[in-house]
Structure 1
């Protein structure tokens, strides 16, 4: 069934019932290494729109580049609320195996009550063995992604770009643009390693132009922003001025994909105080809360059109509060 269901961005699907999904899972509550998480049960029986076809993803754990994913999609509004994982606030976009969905044509459907038979298995498998010091550790889609997508996808693999267009993940123009960025950034990396400085383009920076900051000890800033408030993201130059030589502010990185949003306005979605470490599954408590912004996600511009749409964390020093009347 997974192989037979061919989906595109914009298709309407229905999430299967709890019993139907249970039939696809192994004893770990997984399909092809991808966990079905307790947070996903609330979507059973709902009809949702395919946001992106998740045929690839960027490796944020070991930085190996792109990975191939088979038979999976992201759905509109299908993000993890962290309720079964210690209240993690990363707000990840959930992966849905096509075996857990069926294609439909009518958006209306009677909601179905989940009987709860699958929940004990999922809750049990959402925990890992405790850490070396007895700390709680969790297992989720983010911590297990490298098992679910074990095959690296090199930049030169042209089939991925054909799939981007064929599935509706990206337009032809967007695909040509991301290929250009990838080629340019590879030249920049080569020039920094092999060429004299006078041949470097813009100091050898990759596209997006986020250079190292000037600080040995990075500054802080507090706005006490609350969900629903409006902010403007500061300019790239203003944010870089808060960074250290590692392009981080107190351990939080500022990347080219985030620079794409500089100058834009957005509404505060949440204050982030805790999140899972993808590598260990351990819950991290933030000394200084970060901010999530509504609709502000990684577009994959510089990452081969990655459809993951990770929601970046923002330091309050990178934002400025505005009123509704102050929106340009």
Structure 2
């Protein structure tokens, strides 16, 4: 079956948070993709096929994203959303455990009434088999690295192609869109913009003002400064899914970080400090993840922890809706007793 040229799918839906959508069938999605299995340079990944025909709600409208590859700031994404409960399990990408939210182009979805009958699976659909799967599987690999090292391709590694346009901080329309689509409330967005203004002032003051004139030494909002001298410490708790933990205080955590806010190569970001002192349950242990820049699979010398319900909310990154899942070193956590 010949794939159509990218960008030839159904029209714009202008979706909002909370709306119900149905993921199109595999054949319908195939008709929107180019020969690389992409639409507007955004890959449709093998892990997404399991959602074909399913109904989900719009979790966030993915009209923008923060660039974690080249650190260019916010970038514009066109006609895409994140869906509730749809994160990548990495099965087609070497078992990557980053658990990224999928980007769904509106051309891969249709708006439905949640009470309406579901689209039936026809005999033609069953007879068609899985024609798209081999194309998507082939697209999960990049050219091997030096020495034949395996490299992967996924939505996260290709985001600079899928979102090539930078979105300036001064573009007020993005904040209006966040409120209008339901991504965030007006108070949240106002606070996020003020944090963004403060961080830009801090960045400039760190370059032009003497140290004694800088606010909190020129630190970004969240005011995280690593104080560890020499090597950073480690701890092993052997935490397991379901266990209850408390995230340590910021004062305790900064003692484990170097000046670059790293603990043995793992970063602690200001957004994570918002969770300090809170309790959460262990969702999983992580020992492998893809490097977004190179597509290499990174193997961790000591596993990190993912906590249930703990995501980057974009409060310190002008409302970015990507909702990364932070990785936590065990030394940043402490096991606590179950409540009576």
Match of 1:161 among 159, 169, 175: 175
Distance 1:150 1:4 in 2: 19
In structure 2, which of residues 310, 314, 325 is the aligned counterpart of residue 311 of structure 1? Answer: 325
Tell me, what secondary structure is at the counterpart of 1:325? Answer: coil
Q: 1:54-99: per-residue Cα shift (whole Å, max 9, x none)?
A: 0000000110000000000000001000000000000001100000
1:32 corresponds in structure 2 to 40
More moved, 207-216 vs 231-240: 207-216
Identify the residue that residue 14 of structure 2 maps to in structure 1.
Answer: 6
Correspondence 1:147 to 2:155: no
Q: Please tell me whether the aligned partners of residues 157 and 294 of structure 2 are also in contact (alpha carbons under 8 angstroms).
A: yes
Asked if 1:323 corresponds to 2:331, the answer is no
1: distance between equivalents of 2:87 and 2:180? 24
Alignment coverage as a number of residue pairs: 326
Contact 1:216–1:245 (CA<8 Å) still a contact in 2? Answer: no
Distance across 1 between alignment mates of 2:48 and 2:338: 35
Match of 1:135 in 2: 149
What does residue 243 of structure 1 align with?
Answer: 257
2:244 to 230, 249, 257: 230
Equivalent in 106, 119, 124 of residue 114 of structure 2: 106
| Structure 2 residue 300 is matched with structure 1 residue 291 | no
Higher deviation after alignment, 216-225 or 110-119: 110-119
How far the C-alpha of 1:111 sits from its partner, in A, is 7.8
Whole-angstrom distance in 2 between the partners of 1:201 and 1:282: 39
Give the aligned partner of residue 4 of structure 2. Answer: none
Match of 1:175 among 176, 189, 198: 189
Q: Residues 276-287 of structure 1: matches in 2 within 5 Å? A: 276-287=290-301
CA offsets, 1:165-186, max 9 Å, x none? 1111011111111110011111
| C-alpha contact (below 8 Å) 1:213/1:246 kept by paired residues | no
Q: Which segments of structure 1 move beyond 4 Å, counting only runs of 4 or more?
A: 110-114
SS of alignment partner, residue 209 of structure 1: coil
Structure 1: segments with no counterpart, 5+ residues = none
Match in the other structure for 1:193:
207
Report matched runs for 1:111-130 at 5 Å: 112=121, 115-130=129-144
Query: 1-side partners of 2:19 and 2:283: how far apart?
Result: 27
User: What is the CA–CA distance in structure 2 between the aligned matches of 1:241 and 1:182, rounded to whole Å?
Assistant: 26
TM-score, length-normalised on structure 1?
0.96
SS of residue matched to 1:267 = strand
Contact residue 142 and residue 278 of structure 1 kept, 8 A: yes
| Partner SS for 1:299 | coil
Give the C-alpha shift of residue 148 in structure 1.
0.2
Contact 2:195 2:221 in 1 (8 A): yes
Structure-2 separation of matches of 1:209 and 1:3: 45
**In structure 1, C-alpha distance between the alignment counterparts of 2:120 and 2:297, rounded to whole Å:** 34
The TM-score normalised by the length of structure 2 is: 0.93
Deviation of the 1:262 alpha carbon: 0.6
What is the match of residue 279 of structure 2? Answer: 265
Alignment partner of 1:81 is 2:89: yes
